[in-house]
């Protein structure tokens, strides 16, 4: 093994010791340190083979963290795509932690707002916008307000 390979591996392990990273995140961070992309990818592949790096593990922990912070499926799916994760079952994480999406949106709503029977149209639209920006679908938002 070359010294560059060892440097890349050490950098990867330092990053992974702090938190899970996707392969794309590791590639991006190490490319900023002026390592060659091919060498970085070789090290990442080696770490993935040894199960020291896992995109599935990253996606699950990232999704759980974002759902716990009150974000919806649409937003979390978009953020995972930005991090190089295209095919991940977010519903499984929701079911495991919240039961279903409707329960998640109710928890987020109740944490932010008191339950009021009568809302003005302006206030209802404001609250719907908040939930939309959090990444919840129109279907779940409308079900919440019925």
User: Distance between CA atoms of 80 and 9, rounded to whole angstroms?
Assistant: 24
Q: State the pTM of this model.
A: 0.86
CATH 1.10.10.10 domain span(s) along the chain: 3-53
pLDDT at 94: 86
Query: pLDDT in tens for each of the 146 residues of the chain?
Result: 678 899 999 999 999 999 999 999 999 999 999 889 999 999 999 999 999 999 999 999 999 999 999 999 999 999 999 999 988 888 888 888 888 889 999 999 999 987 777 888 999 999 999 999 999 999 999 999 88
CATH 1.10.3720.10 fits 3-53, yes or no: no
Q: Quick one: 86 exposed, middle or buried, by C-beta within 10 A (0-12, 13-18, 19+)?
A: exposed
Q: DSSP 3-state assignment of 56?
A: helix
pLDDT at 1: 65
Per-residue b or e along 117-144, where b marks 16 or more CB atoms closer than 10 Å to that residue's CB: eeeeeeeeeebbeebeebbbeeebbeeb
């Amino acid at each position: 093994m070359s010294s560059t390979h060892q440097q890349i591996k050490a950098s990867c392990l330092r990053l992974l010791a702090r938190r899970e990273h996707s392969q794309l995140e590791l590639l991006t961070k190490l490319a900023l340190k002026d390592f060659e992309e091919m060498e970085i990818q070789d090290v990442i592949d080696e770490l993935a083979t040894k199960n020291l790096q896992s995109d599935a593990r990253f996606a699950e922990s990232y999704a759980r963290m974002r759902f716990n912070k009150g974000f919806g499926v649409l937003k979390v799916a978009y953020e995972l795509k930005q991090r190089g994760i295209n095919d991940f079952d977010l519903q499984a994480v929701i079911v495991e932690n919240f039961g279903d999406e409707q329960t998640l949106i109710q928890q987020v709503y109740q944490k932010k707002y008191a339950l009021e029977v009568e809302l003005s149209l302006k206030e209802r639209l404001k609250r719907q916008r908040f939930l939309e920006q959090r990444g919840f679908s129109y279907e779940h938002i409308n079900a919440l307000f019925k």
